[in-house]
Structure 1
């Protein structure tokens, strides 16, 4: 799509927003219901597309994409009236007589840029929040999941007029053309490199931005952990979507005393969940493309493999792989893995583990397996991260009741549920001052009795 075409669409969306048609709650609810109906009509198409792009099974596609998206829709439909209400707040005595309240209002025309790893969830969930808040939206999905993008484009085109919601497909050229435009809000999910570029362009117009990025999310396992259960939950979270999950455990940091037991349990769980030959498992996905396939293989030090390491170039599959005796000097620790490789490092004390985590950029997620309540509190108090779990992995993002987002280099801002509505809204502070009386204290001439009253009011 050419730059002038994007400018035309953006102008039509601004014009549509200016009519006020997106503001009534009844309108917003109707649009959310339309999206649900279209998703359900094309549910089979979405399964097929996710299988083609990422090798996802039907169960995984519903559990991690379609089902979670429908859950956010349900939550928003249930709570939208409460979210849009004005919120009365106390008025200072010095401003008597007045009514003070907070009022949410949509930003206007927003841009949502989504990634390829969970293309349905990470495109439609922020779209739901943006529409619930009353915005018009331009959606730009990743070019790396073309089959899924095609189905979502069909869903959006049949559900909404382009002056309300429009999906623009394509690659780098379209991304650059979009980022040179003036939006009222930009929501980006993806890697740090492109995230910096988004922020740089947004600064040109001082456009507010939400960035959902990533990082090397640690999984700490102490000596009190229930090893078999910890291994089962770590294997699930790490190898879901072939490790192509922004909140997947990037590496294990375990107490040196339980290293051998944990490694044995992890190997057992990989066989239990994926079979003796994971590359033959029809429910095990694939790497998104050749470029990422080769990048991930380049991170595997063959002499450090204790499990896995097999690959199939014809299907872009890499078996669940575990590496041991890994150090921070290894290539696998120099970047976010985003693939089915699990490096295992050790520590001698919890204080050392905390120092290791805190000496690196704040991760998007952190996981801690321990039965020690004091140790749990210590990790939560001293480690900085976007979100996480105690004695589990990744499930903290699967709820509309809690915000999801990063901190520092792993992102800024959040969404889901209330936070999603707030992300796409500006909260106005308004004082409705009454006219039946007017306190003279603030007006000149400033005399002694006024100062005494002011000191009584403001303290």
Structure 2
């Protein structure tokens, strides 16, 4: 009789938990890495990233169908390299304990904050910037002394393969590991912190799963980021900046200008200028090497459905730029499009667009524009074009968004010393800058008590002296 041995493959949940246990055991065994070790890790990762520039550009192009190599270098690689440089320069300062005020009755002691690694950080990254939005949370976690499990999107398999090869070369698996599999199982792990970048809908599910283990989360979501153009500022530089921000990576950027608020007297001038400057940016039209296609058929269908719904409800759809009809010659490519006459019964008025479609809304005065923004969920970014005057101050004071760029688009995310993150429906928590380091650290408060302090006079047995001291503290 032959006995056949049956082997059962571990589930994603079992596999993930085993990796987490290995990383946590390594952290507890080795403790917090030194400044020199963290700096060396960052330096080695930067070198490996630069060495794979061509491979990354090719992989992302494969995953998207077509993605400009210049956009990949600019928005994926430069962002991470400069982020690493920033952390290397400032890491010693970030790690340094900070003194805190000591209460009067304990002046012979000292208070300080020491920033301690949390332990193991989970990172869930999206498909739209599969290198930058994977690696920036990873490098921030490493700078803070943590170990990392990274789960990138299944929609970018070629890029994930390059990342897996690179990370396994630079780090042992008990320090940094990239995994694939069930996102729900990953979100349910008892991490010391979880960073998620993606849609608001999925972010809710991630937060709910994490809450079962009381795992703190940083959620980088999205939403409809408005662009307010002050009356008189429909100028070539203004519109060129909007073309850049809206059409970068085919509009598939979480902080892309989602819609434009233009004074009612300047709508036609804006559309004419937008068309002309799209033509200047992409002289070969939507099949240009510089113009990025929509990353997959599903996302393309979502965008075309938004256009069809708007058209059905009476919106005016205008394809702009050179030869927009040629977009059909390249798989899941959508020509730059503006939408006029948008009303609240259209999906495009409420859903994040994530593509090269720009709805244009009119306003009568700046209060009208502000009220429009404020009746919608708080966005990840807000853009304002205008003078440094009371209207600009009013927009900054009366609207709430993740971050703001004035007289430009997108580039606040490239400022390494600014925190990045949303508010309300667009997210919670920050990374980038010192805020990112502190998000992924535990600020441990330490009191070094002096040989003498007044509180010892409050020890039992109580009496008149106790009453006198309590009266002094409660005066």
Offset of 1:163 from its aligned partner?
Answer: 0.8
Q: Which moved further from structure 2: 437-446 or 2-11?
A: 437-446
Distance in 2 between the 1:137 and 1:193 partners? 24
Superposed displacement of residue 21, structure 1: 4.8
Question: d(CA) in 2 for partners of 1:326 and 1:437?
Answer: 68
Give the counterpart of 2:104 among 67, 77, 93.
93
Residues 365 and 388, structure 1, Cα contact 8 Å, conserved in 2: yes
Q: Does 1:434 align with 2:441?
A: no
2:458 aligned counterpart, secondary structure: coil
2:5 equivalent in structure 1: none
The equivalent position to 1:254 in structure 2, one of 251, 262, 265, is 262
Matched, 1:44 2:54: yes
Paired residue for 2:154? Answer: 143
Q: Does 2:396 match 1:380?
A: yes
The aligned counterpart of 2:360 is 344
SS at match of 1:367: strand
SS of 2:228's equivalent in the other structure is: strand
- Cα distance between partner residues in 2 of 1:372 and 1:440: 57
- The 1:161/1:65 distance shift into structure 2, 3 A limit, reads same
Matched positions, count = 455
1:218 correspondence with 2:252: no
Range 406-415 or range 418-427, more displaced:
418-427
SS in 1 for 2:306: coil
Distance in 2, Cα, partners of 1:447 & 1:313: 90
Does structure 2 conserve the Cα–Cα contact (< 8 Å) formed by 1:96 and 1:439? no
> Is the counterpart of residue 282 in structure 1 residue 289 in structure 2?
yes
Q: Distance in 1 between matches of 2:18 and 2:441?
A: 24
What is the CA distance between 1:372 and its match in structure 2?
5.0
**Mapped contact 2:229–2:263 kept (Cα < 8 A):** yes
Aligned counterpart, 1:56: 67
Structure 1 contact 83–418 (Cα < 8 Å) conserved: yes
* In structure 2, C-alpha distance between the alignment counterparts of 1:144 and 1:429, rounded to whole Å: 43
Residue 330 in structure 1 maps to residue 337 in structure 2: no
Q: Which moved more, 1:177-186 or 1:242-251?
A: 177-186
1:305 to 294, 297, 317: 317
Shift of 1:95: 2.1
Given that residues 226 and 383 in structure 2 are in contact (C-alpha distance below 8 angstroms), is that contact kept between their aligned partners in structure 1? yes
Aligned to 1:407: 423
- 8 A Cα contact 2:115 2:443, kept in partner: yes
Unpaired runs of at least 5, structure 1:
none
Give the drift of 1:97.
2.0
Q: What is the alpha-carbon root mean square deviation over aligned residues? A: 1.7
1:437/1:305 CA distance change after superposition, 3 Å: closer
What are the within-5 Å matches in structure 2 for residues 153-302 of structure 1?
A: 153-170=164-181, 174-275=182-283, 277-300=284-307, 301-302=310-311
Q: Counterpart in 2 of 1:131? A: 142
**Which segment drifts farther, 123-132 or 32-41?**
32-41
Tell me the CA shift for residue 456 of structure 1: 4.4
Q: Which moved more, 1:389-398 or 1:449-458?
A: 449-458
**Separation of aligned partners in 2, 1:22 and 1:159:** 18
Which stretch of the first structure deviates more once superposed, 364-373 or 304-313?
304-313
How far apart are 1:443 and its partner, in Å?
2.1
Instruction: Give me the whole-angstrom Cα distance separating, in 2, the residues matched to 1:40 and 1:216.
Output: 33
d(CA) in 2 for partners of 1:451, 1:256: 71
TM-score, normalised relative to structure 2: 0.92
Q: 1:71-113: per-residue Cα shift (whole Å, max 9, x none)? A: 0100111111111111011201122321100111111111000
Within 5 Å, which residues of 2 pair with 1:87-126?
87-126=98-137
Does the residue aligned with 2:318 lie in a helix, a strand or coil? strand
Q: Show the counterpart of 2:13.
A: 3
| Corresponding residue to 1:424 among 440, 457, 468 | 440
Asked if structure 2 preserves the Cα contact closer than 8 Å seen for 1:103 and 1:430, the reply is yes
SS in 1 for 2:457: coil
Gaps of 5+ in 2: 1-10
In structure 2, the CA distance between the partners of 1:273 and 1:458, relative to structure 1 (3 Å rule), is farther
Cα distance between partner residues in 2 of 1:62 and 1:353: 36
- TM-score, length-normalised on structure 1? 0.95
CA distance in 1, matches of 2:235, 2:429: 34
How far apart, in 2, do the equivalents of 1:437 and 1:64 lie? Answer: 55
- The residue correspondences of 1:68-87 to structure 2 (distance < 5 A) are 68-87=79-98
